């Protein structure tokens, strides 16, 4: 990264060696159902509060991610994670049992992007051999936090999104070529991990890696409607995507997909309009995780899915496998967040947006 | 960092090239008053809500930190920051005007340590030329969030701490020796920044740097008393300090000071007891920012100061200057956080703790 540019380029791109996703029942009735590792029919996850349910969702997803890589928690150097709740309590209680050094994050629904960028930095420089990056949301804990008690049965405008009950977790490791950097990671460790957890199991053809990232700025368009967060976030996504194009001298056709987090139907239109105005038509390659998550014909979820678990689960269940299969060679993953709290909203504050861009590429697993 | 160890060692330690602190009136009547850059007598900072007041406090502190380094916001590649409020709204609105790529953090009162570790990683590996790390808290916004409305005038047990109105912000840059790492930082940039912002202005004798860090794990001792957070955090501090000793084969006498964030009187005793039990007596070199902040004889702040602005302001106003003057050669700075929310507390959840350890050393500015 250089002054005047926002993006980071990884000389030896960190690799994603495992990914897991678990979602709730409504998500399990949507178009992507078959791609997730597990659909949990019990919204309480066997716990006695929505917050504990979300913690349990995180715990199970982290465990699944470790299991898929044949790894133990002790093999992981640090964990980057967050959720939507005040003081990210779902995360604190969700990950504490793993006893891994922990960086708590809050990026609203952009948290998965934030976690992956920081995780890629730590692994890319050799400060960590192996990290986990995850984000979760839960419909019921988020509704209570940001909107209304479920029992109140309030009316929802069409621009409202539906908070996804879901969690996605990725394991990021340094590239084995990246020895001798500032950190102290031993080359042997990395090679061994590739053997144990690498291509045979998870990367049949192409190994997903993170060659670059564009961390987002806070973009405040003076929006004040918490029931239309897609609009607040769309402009932040525009800012990050254009910054990425400028920093790497790229155009839409350099990506197979540009995938936003949870703009929903309303936010998507705004994104595409603003991008067109900037001379960059991304309509043919744009996808939004929130729109993919639910079927608008059969599921009454209005503008689409949202919540930081939405983009995290879609990344792990749907996007990474497409890259592994070689279907997509280069993707710009742009989780989008709306920065508000119950208090800021009630005090009449704006709802600024933020979007973190993560470049994902598939590297041929063999012949390197 | 290697598997089995939690700590990070920076081969070319990132340097702290600027630091600023602003506090409120009560803090300005305490023993450290003269060390802060500014004492603001108006608790609202000229704004109409406590949350906006905290945002303004952050804004002014960031600006002060930039000014002291003769830098503009555009010279900074990214910003690591957080506060205690739900969805860290004080931070979102506090830093948005600077238009710097932003990583939102939540580590309760340990946030300054978390921000500095991540900032040191980004600068140390060359992913950024220059970052800012900051944390704030405000007595009134925190009381409302976690305890009772101020107007309620509730009784406070002696183990309660007093949330500090304060903010500390440091500027971290890569060491100029650290060219050619994974990031793309140009050597010229770093040299120039040292000339502009470096030793002449801020480091009369010794330049504070970050040679190592020990990110904390979540430690849950099944505490459930939100009015005794010092106890919840003390054991996390023990865990991080002992981990640091093990990872670097150190003992108490290897540090001039081991400085916790906001354990207060009650937490300090628990820390010293547990450390003694572990065979490491740190009583002669231990200092707690929360205890230093207020005078128990004249200020009715019970167990001491707390809040992530407490350790951040004491670091910037008091600790770093001691290192710059050569009075302390090596310090272990351990901000401590209690992981609870209003909801988790009301649902009867535990209050786990976390403590992030940052090693600070003074490098002779000349003769390198």
B196 inside 8 A of chain A by CB: no
A62: part of which helix (H) or strand (E)? helix A50-68
Give residue A196's pLDDT: 41
Mark which of A152, A180, A201 sits at the end of a domain: A201
Residue A204 has pLDDT above 70, yes or no: no
Mean pLDDT over each residue of chain A, to the nearest integer: 90
Residue A327 has pLDDT above 60, yes or no: yes
The DSSP symbol for A82 reads E
- Cβ atoms of A85 and A140 within 8 Å: the answer is no
The answer to whether the CB atoms of B129 and A1 lie below 8 A apart is yes
Mark which of B185, B201, B217 sits at the end of a domain: B201
- Cβ atoms of B306 and B163 within 8 Å: the answer is yes
Q: What angle do CA B200, B367, B177 make, to 5 degrees?
A: 85
Task: Using alpha carbons, select from A104, A109, A98, A50 the residue that is nearest to residue A74.
Answer: A98
Give residue B177's pLDDT: 60
Contacts of B48 (CB under 8 A, 6+ apart): none
Q: Are residues A286 and A323 in the same domain?
A: yes
Q: Are residues B186 and B92 in the same domain?
A: yes
Side-chain half-sphere CA neighbours of B365 within 13 A? 20
Give residue A222's pLDDT: 87
CATH number at residue B101: 3.40.47.40
> In this predicted model, what pLDDT tens digit does every residue of B156-212 receive, in sequence order?
888 888 999 999 999 999 986 654 445 443 333 333 333 344 444 444 589 999 999
Provide the pairing of β-strand B162-163 with B353-355.
unpaired
B22 is a domain residue = yes
Q: Which of A166-180, A289-303, B174-188 has the highest mean pLDDT?
A: A289-303
DSSP B260-299: ESS-HHHHHHHHHHHHHHTT---TTTEEEHHHHHS-TTTS
What CA–CA distance (Å, rounded) separates B150 from B143?
7
Q: Are residues B175 and B244 in the same domain?
A: no
Give residue B313's pLDDT: 98
Q: Are residues B281 and B310 in the same domain?
A: yes
**Closest approach of B294 to chain A, Cα-based (Å):** 26
Give residue B366's pLDDT: 57
Instruction: Look up residue B44 and give its two tokens.
Output: 């609202």
Q: Are residues A20 and A160 in the same domain?
A: yes
Q: Are residues A353 and A327 in the same domain?
A: yes
Instruction: Look up residue A308 and give its two tokens.
Output: 């930081």
Q: Which residues of chain B fall short of a pLDDT of 70?
A: 1-4, 176-204, 366-368
Which residue(s) pair with A257 in the sheet? A331
Estimate the share of chain B in helix, then strand, then coil, as percent rounded to the nearest 5.
40, 20, 40
Instruction: Look up residue B196 and give its two tokens.
Output: 């502009």
Q: Are residues A296 and A196 in the same domain?
A: no
Q: Are residues A210 and A189 in the same domain?
A: no
The answer to whether the CB atoms of A87 and B340 lie below 8 A apart is yes
A3 is a domain residue = no
Q: Which residues of A touch B92 (CB under 8 A)?
A: 218, 339, 344, 352
* B contact residues 162-191, partner A, Cβ 8 Å cutoff: 178, 181-186, 189
Q: Are residues A108 and A220 in the same domain?
A: no
Q: Are residues A186 and A255 in the same domain?
A: no
- Cβ atoms of B208 and B321 within 8 Å: the answer is no
Average of pLDDT values for A193-201?
40
Mark which of B171, B201, B231 sits at the end of a domain: B201
Residue of B nearest to A104 (CA): B106
What CA–CA distance (Å, rounded) separates A199 from A366?
9
- Cβ atoms of A58 and A95 within 8 Å: the answer is yes
Residue with tokens 């991008």, as numbered in its chain: A275
What CA–CA distance (Å, rounded) separates B182 from A12?
7
What CA–CA distance (Å, rounded) separates A128 from B245?
19
The answer to whether the CB atoms of B2 and A186 lie below 8 A apart is yes
Q: How many domains does chain A have?
A: 2
The answer to whether the CB atoms of B216 and A102 lie below 8 A apart is yes
> In this predicted model, what pLDDT tens digit does every residue of A236-253 receive, in sequence order?
999 999 999 999 999 999
B334 is a domain residue = yes
Rounded to a whole number of angstroms, the CA Rg of chain B reads 19
Which residues span the domain enclosing A227?
205-364
What CA–CA distance (Å, rounded) separates A153 from A173?
45
Three-class DSSP category at B357: strand
A62 inside 8 A of chain B by CB: no
A187 is a domain residue = yes
**Hey, CA dihedral for A34, A38, A43, A49, is it positive or negative?**
negative
Q: What angle do CA B25, B31, B32 make, to 5 degrees?
A: 75
Give residue A177's pLDDT: 60
User: E strands within B150-281?
Assistant: 162-163, 166-173, 206-214, 257-260
Mean pLDDT over each residue of chain B, to the nearest integer: 90
Task: Using alpha carbons, select from A65, A61, A19, A18 the residue that is nearest to residue A40.
Answer: A61
Give residue A271's pLDDT: 97
A293 is a domain residue = yes
- Name the burial class of residue A79, with classes exposed (0-12), middle (13-18) and buried (19+) by CB atoms within 10 angstroms of its CB: buried
Helix H, strand E, coil C: the string for A148-217 is CCHHHCCCCCCCCCEECCEEEEEEEECCCCCCCCCCCCCHHHHHHHHHHHCHHHHCCCEEEEEEEEECCC
A262 is a domain residue = yes
**Closest approach of B232 to chain A, Cα-based (Å):** 14
What CA–CA distance (Å, rounded) separates B264 from B226?
14
Q: Which residues of A touch B246 (CB under 8 A)?
A: none
The answer to whether the CB atoms of B184 and A9 lie below 8 A apart is yes
B172 is a domain residue = yes
What CA–CA distance (Å, rounded) separates A182 from B1?
10
Alpha carbon B63 to chain centroid distance?
A: 18
Residue A197 has pLDDT above 50, yes or no: no
> In this predicted model, what pLDDT tens digit does every residue of A122-155 receive, in sequence order?
999 999 999 999 999 999 999 888 887 788 888 8
> In this predicted model, what pLDDT tens digit does every residue of B244-269 receive, in sequence order?
999 999 999 999 999 999 999 989 99
What CA–CA distance (Å, rounded) separates A225 from A230?
10
Task: Using alpha carbons, select from A311, A329, A131, A162 the residue that is nearest to residue A229.
Answer: A162
The DSSP symbol for A94 reads H
Q: Are residues B262 and B348 in the same domain?
A: yes
Give residue B160's pLDDT: 84
B228 is a domain residue = yes
What is the value of ipTM here, to two decimals? 0.92
Lowest mean pLDDT among A12-26, A353-367, B121-135, B230-244: A353-367
* B contact residues 304-343, partner A, Cβ 8 Å cutoff: 339-343
DSSP A302-326: TT-EESHHHHHHHIIIIIHHHHHTT
Q: Which residues of A233-250 are buried (b: 16+ CB within 10 A; e: fewer)?
A: bbbbbbbbbbbbbebbeb
Average of pLDDT values for A44-64?
97
Residue with tokens 């960590």, as numbered in its chain: A128
Q: Are residues A81 and A211 in the same domain?
A: no
The answer to whether the CB atoms of A100 and B217 lie below 8 A apart is yes
Residue with tokens 């945002």, as numbered in its chain: B55
Task: Using alpha carbons, select from B244, B191, B130, B49 the residue that is nearest to residue A345.
Answer: B49
């Amino acid at each position: 990264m250089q002054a005047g540019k926002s993006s980071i380029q990884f000389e030896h791109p960190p690799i994603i060696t495992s990914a897991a996703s678990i979602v709730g029942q409504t998500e399990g009735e949507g178009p992507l159902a078959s791609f997730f590792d597990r659909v949990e029919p019990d919204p309480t996850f066997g716990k006695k509060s929505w917050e504990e349910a979300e913690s349990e969702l995180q715990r199970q997803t982290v465990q699944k991610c470790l299991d898929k890589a044949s790894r133990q928690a002790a093999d992981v150097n640090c964990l980057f994670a967050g959720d939507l709740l005040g003081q990210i309590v779902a995360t604190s209680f969700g990950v504490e049992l793993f006893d891994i050094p922990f960086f708590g994050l809050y990026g609203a629904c952009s948290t998965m992007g934030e976690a992956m960028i920081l995780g890629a930095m730590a692994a890319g420089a050799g400060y960590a051999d192996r990290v986990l990056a995850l984000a979760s949301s839960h419909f019921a804990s988020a509704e209570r936090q940001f909107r209304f008690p479920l029992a109140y049965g309030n009316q929802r405008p069409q621009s409202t999104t539906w908070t996804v009950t879901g969690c996605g977790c990725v394991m990021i490791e340094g590239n084995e070529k990246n020895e001798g950097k500032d950190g102290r990671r031993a080359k042997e460790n990395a090679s061994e991990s590739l053997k144990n957890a690498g291509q045979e199991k998870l990367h049949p053809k192409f190994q997903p890696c993170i060659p670059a990232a564009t961390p987002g700025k806070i973009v405040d368009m003076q929006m004040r409607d918490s029931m239309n967060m897609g609009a607040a976030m769309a402009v932040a996504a525009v800012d990050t995507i254009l910054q990425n194009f400028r920093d790497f001298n790229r155009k839409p056709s350099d990506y197979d997909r540009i995938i936003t987090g949870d703009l929903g139907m309303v936010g998507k239109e705004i994104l595409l309009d603003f991008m067109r105005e900037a001379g960059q038509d991304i309509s043919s390659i744009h996808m939004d995780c929130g729109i993919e998550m639910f079927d608008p014909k059969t599921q009454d979820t209005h503008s689409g899915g949202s919540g930081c678990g939405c983009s995290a689960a879609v990344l792990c269940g749907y996007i990474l496998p497409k890259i592994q299969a070689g279907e997509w060679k280069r993707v710009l993953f742009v989780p989008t967040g709306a920065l508000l709290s119950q208090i800021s909203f009630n005090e009449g504050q704006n709802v600024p947006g933020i979007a973190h861009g993560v470049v994902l590429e598939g590297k041929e697993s063999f012949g390197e």
